[in-house]
Amino acid sequence: MSKLNKSILSLWSEPYIRFIIWFIALFFILYGFNIAFIGVTAKGGLYIPFLDEHLNYINWWRTFAIESTATVLRWFNYIVYTNDYQLRVIGRSGFTMVYSCLGYGVMSVFIAFVLTFPGKIKARYGFLFLGLVIIQLLNTIRLVLLSLYWNRRPKYLTIDHHDLFNIIVYAVLIILVYIWLKQVSKPSKT
């Protein structure tokens, strides 16, 4: 066995290195799958009508984001109009739901982290579900706030709402991961 092969095997035997490699690989698989699926369900280019008409989870996801935001706004007595891609609030603002607003990048990172982190698989399911629900809840809150307060006029030295959303979500996820790791690392009572 060559020295290079021994070095590679030595690196692979390190759990942290293995975790990082699997995490990055799974992230790119999940993220790439979402991008590819968007590509084959959007008309033009390599379009697959069957996937678009029967298995388009991206469309379902977008509809859920728009309609959940509309529901929250209606709870506060706002008059809201929606279509497949947009939400408008009378007397306020609204948004057009583009693919990047769905949060599939953040969700891909979270799923990849939870599934590749060393430890018992069973302990991950509840945390994975909770994290994904929290990401969607934060996205709905963001969309409600955008619908009510977003000003289209350009401002200087401001942060884009996508970037701000990502910062907030990653901060919340880091806190959740910290709490989760404290829980799963506690010795079990037997």
* C-alpha span between 47 and 119 (Å, rounded): 40
Confidence at residue 119, expressed as pLDDT on a 0 to 100 scale: 79
pLDDT at 112 (0 to 100): 97
Average pLDDT, the chain: 89
Confidence category of residue 156, pLDDT binned at 50, 70, 90: low
pLDDT digits (tens, 9 = 90+) for 14-39: 888 889 999 999 999 999 999 999 99
184: confidence class by pLDDT, cuts 50, 70, 90 = confident
Do 134 and 115 form a contact (C-beta atoms < 8 A)? no
More confident residue, 79 or 3: 79
CA distance 123 to 20: 20
Distance of alpha carbon 130 from the chain centroid: 13
Note the pLDDT of residue 157: 55
Hey, what are 152's tokens?
């289209």
Query: Does residue 154 surpass a pLDDT of 70?
Result: no
CA dihedral 36, 38, 44, 45 (to 10 degrees): 0
User: Mean per-residue pLDDT for 45-70?
Assistant: 95
Residue ranges per structural domain of the chain? 14-183
Q: Look at residue 15 in the predicted model and tell me its pLDDT.
A: 81
Say which residue, 156 or 109, is predicted with more confidence: 109
Rg (CA), the chain: 21
